[in-house]
Amino acid sequence: MSQPLSPLVSLATSMHSQPGVYAVMLGSGVSTGAGLLTGWGVVTELVSRVAAAGGGDDEVEVARADPEAWWKQHGSGDLGYSTLLEQLAPSAAARQGLLAGFFEPGADDDAGALREPSRAHHAIAELMKRGSVRVIVTTNFDRLMEHALESIGISPQVIARPEAVNGMAPLAHAPATIIKLHGDYRDLGSRNTPAELSEYPDEWKRLLAQVFDEYGLVISGWSADWDHALVAALEDAPSRRYPLYWDQRSSRGDAAQRILAARDGRVLPASSADDLFGELVESLEALDRLSSPPLTTAMAVARLKRYLPDPVRRIDLHDLVMNTVDEVVDFITAQPVTAETVSVGFDVLDTMYAGYFATMEKLAPLLITGVWHDDGTHDSLWADVVQRLIDAGSTVPTHTFNSLYLAARLIPALASVALISITATRRGREGLLLSIVEEVDGPTQIGIDQRVNAAQVLHYGRVIVNEDNINGFTRWGGNKWLYPASHLFTAALRHYLIGLIPNKDDYEKAFRGFEYRLGLIQRLTSDRAISGEYVGEWAWRGEEPVAEIELRKVIDRGRGTAWEEFFTARELTVDAALTEHRAVIVKYQRWG
């Protein structure tokens, strides 16, 4: 037998398809997660204070254990939140002073640190930020909801007194409105007593009639046990055009059950307001992902710029980047690893390599933009990108493979490292390439468990296998290159970096700087380094390669601390490390 849909699923689906149609109504139960007492908690505390004033510690214990029984014996009238306030603080000013202690931390109040917006408040604020909810009706006096909204840059329209209704912006035109029916605890006009709560002013009645007529309603933390005027407003609302939802914990009373039955309301199963609104936001975000069209590159970059500086969107940033990486991985895994013929033609290889570079079309701008604007907070994300691509490129789907086809699967990983490193270097973040190499690894060979760092995995000789094949590509129009793999990567990645490095000579200098750095890491961790155009006959100034001279300048200017630490860990000075490296790469010079 099929199970009915969860009311939370129905609410999320309806709210997603009709943003702004639902209002939220909050009672004191929503603020418990922020360290505030519920209405009954305040009652218990006030009764205990009365008992302490009149009978000492023994009476306090009795009153805390059963406040109703104690009040029945010692108090006057039915025990309730409003009754107590009326008797303990007859004037509005006295009530304000009495209530302040429950909503503001005192100088010696260790628990005061908890009196900040709860997960529920932040989740509701997120609902308002996304436009899913625009109106909040609350019986609470605290300002936690306002604080939660202000923390994400929303300044709500707050209506805390009946007379303010006449001058308010129309609900449909205000992005966020909070209606505080019982006022603010600092407001001398707060409504607390039975008389005040039994009948609302006409302004409140008209505004509530509009809200209950024009909006669906999500009620949480409000029991309907004490607020007779609000109960009457709900029962008098003529419209049933949108549904009413009420959380399970606060909808158990007779009045709540009567309202649910009259309005055909649905009960939301949730252990707390934090869970209820947290799950609602998660459901809406899941529906966003399902209904959103595929992101264009421009849209993805725009989102990345929004997410990058926002610590609250850290997971969103990770998902945005890694989902794009997964698109590249899907391309990699879909490529064949076996050739139809024993001999693979130049045109086949050219097309295959072009495909791997083209699959970076969306990922490359995300990496360049992300690394450029990142301050180091998200370095682990860029390492995750490289690790995912190396893992995908190192996986063999069958036991039979062509070595050229298999090796080419690492092209996106090497391209990503190049883009990240060049961008980081231009930004003065020399340590990013080194940190990626330290965190990311891959197998020494396919099918071998031994692993080595990313720099060793991404050697040209590992990725391309036979560089001579590249000189046979028709794209060159018959030209031959002294360092084919180096020239291929330099040419293929040029258009991705043209916005960052418009000048062609500057770009080539930057790419050669990357090759030099990668080769330096390779030699110091494996005794072999890539060759490349960075060591060509034109790339030297006297006996020093230009790339070495440039790195020395970076270190001399105090921006190469990461390199100094890298060399020191190998018991080398900067000069010794670079001089030794020069002795190796001078052997790679070729003249054509």
Domains of the chain with CATH codes: 7-35+115-287 (3.40.50.1220), 39-113 (no CATH), 295-533 (no CATH)
In 13-161 the beta strands, taken as DSSP E runs, fall at 22-26, 133-138, 157-159
- According to DSSP, residue 367 is labeled H
Query: Which residues, other chains included, contact 574 with Cβ-Cβ below 8 Å and sequence gap of 6+?
Result: 552, 555, 560, 563, 564, 567
Query: Which residues, other chains included, contact 179 with Cβ-Cβ below 8 Å and sequence gap of 6+?
Result: 135, 136, 137, 138, 159, 207, 211
Question: How far is the C-alpha of 361 from the C-alpha of 498, rounded, in Å?
Answer: 13
Of the chain, the end-to-end C-alpha distance in Å amounts to 78
Length, in residues, of the chain: 592
pTM beyond cutoff 0.85: no
- pLDDT one digit per residue (tens) for the chain, 592 residues: 445 678 999 999 999 999 999 999 999 888 776 677 665 677 788 888 888 877 667 788 888 888 888 888 887 777 766 667 777 777 777 776 777 777 765 544 444 445 788 899 999 999 999 999 999 999 988 889 999 999 999 999 999 999 999 999 999 999 999 999 988 776 655 555 555 667 899 999 999 999 999 999 999 999 998 788 999 999 998 767 889 999 999 999 999 999 999 988 999 998 889 999 999 999 998 888 787 677 789 999 999 999 999 988 899 999 999 999 999 999 999 988 876 655 678 888 899 999 999 999 999 999 999 999 999 999 999 999 999 999 999 987 667 788 888 999 999 999 999 999 999 999 999 999 999 998 999 998 766 778 999 999 999 999 998 888 999 998 898 899 999 999 999 999 999 999 999 999 999 999 999 999 999 999 999 888 999 999 998 899 999 999 999 999 999 999 999 999 999 999 999 999 999 999 999 999 887 6
Q: Nearest CA to 521 among 465, 440, 443, 589?
A: 440
Report the DSSP pairing between strands 216-220 and 22-26.
parallel
Instruction: Count Cβ atoms below 10 Å from residue 372 Cβ, excluding itself.
Output: 15
The per-residue DSSP string of 388-411 comes to HHHHHHT--SSS---HHHHHHTTH
